[in-house]
Amino acid sequence: MTRTELSEDGAVLLATLTAPGRGLATAVARNRLLTALLAATLASILVALVTVPRIDFTRGAAAAAAAAAGPEAAALTPHQLEEAELQAAKVGAIGGYAGAGFGPVLAILGTGLACWLAFKVAGTRPGLKASLAVSAHALLPLFLARLLTLPAVLLRAPLAPADLPGLLPSSLAALLPTGSSPVLLAAASSLDLFTAWALVLLVVGMAQVAGASRRRAAVVMAVLWLAQIAFLKIAPVALAAGMKGGA
């Protein structure tokens, strides 16, 4: 990758966020996604480097260990409690850094493949690489949202893992009262400003890739988004709540 290509890719990234029609048209025409993928990954890693050391993964470790041992088990000894806390900290840190390194790639590939397949089912003929290029650029607002959480991380540390979703109050979940049901929280958290921004970019980009109208692209993306919320957000939370209630 030459310096000129890198400069042009950077200009496309900026144009995607400020002038989506022009930026995404250029991204589709150039059919390049590596720079966008690297930018998303670097942003995610930066957030992890700042955030993970400031998360107290040991909160709730004792309760989780006691629950795993069963109601009839004896109380945890200080040594067992220390081991549970060390294990929670180790697993949490590994998960945080691994998610930062691989999460953007998986998100971009998964979104691009889902869009490519959905638009093919809708009767259009999008190119796979072009769909991936659109996905890499359209998801940039989601990684921008992570960067915007950094001031809150620095001000509110140490954090519990459960505090992370509420650091940036950009979804309807921020308006819900304390004690709202997990299912309602999962649904409300999906109605997010940065998610809506990314969806608009996907509509604009996929309309160009698939040769469809923006109205048709919006319908396809709306169906895909609702399916993602239902199966990947609400269903797991509802299942977990049902299992907890039946225990």
- Tell me the pLDDT tens digit for each residue of 173-190: 888 887 788 888 888 888
Residue 2 falls inside a structural domain: no
Residue 135 falls inside a structural domain: yes
Per-residue pLDDT at 72: 45
- Over range 181-209, report the average pLDDT: 92
Question: Which of 9, 33, 186 lies closest to 113 in space, CA to CA?
Answer: 33
Domain count, the chain: 1
Per-residue pLDDT at 177: 85
Residue 194 falls inside a structural domain: yes
> Containing domain of residue 177, as a range?
7-246
More confident call, 219 vs 240: 219
Per-residue pLDDT at 73: 47
The phi and psi torsions of 58 (rounded to 5 degrees) equal: -80, -15
Residues 58 and 133 sit within 8 Å (Cβ to Cβ) = no
Q: Which residue has the tokens 């969806």?
A: 199
Task: Report the alpha-carbon distance of residue 223 to residue 226 in Å, rounded.
Answer: 5
Per-residue pLDDT for 74 more than 70?
Answer: no
Residue 208 falls inside a structural domain: yes
Residue 1 falls inside a structural domain: no
The phi and psi torsions of 171 (rounded to 5 degrees) equal: -120, 170
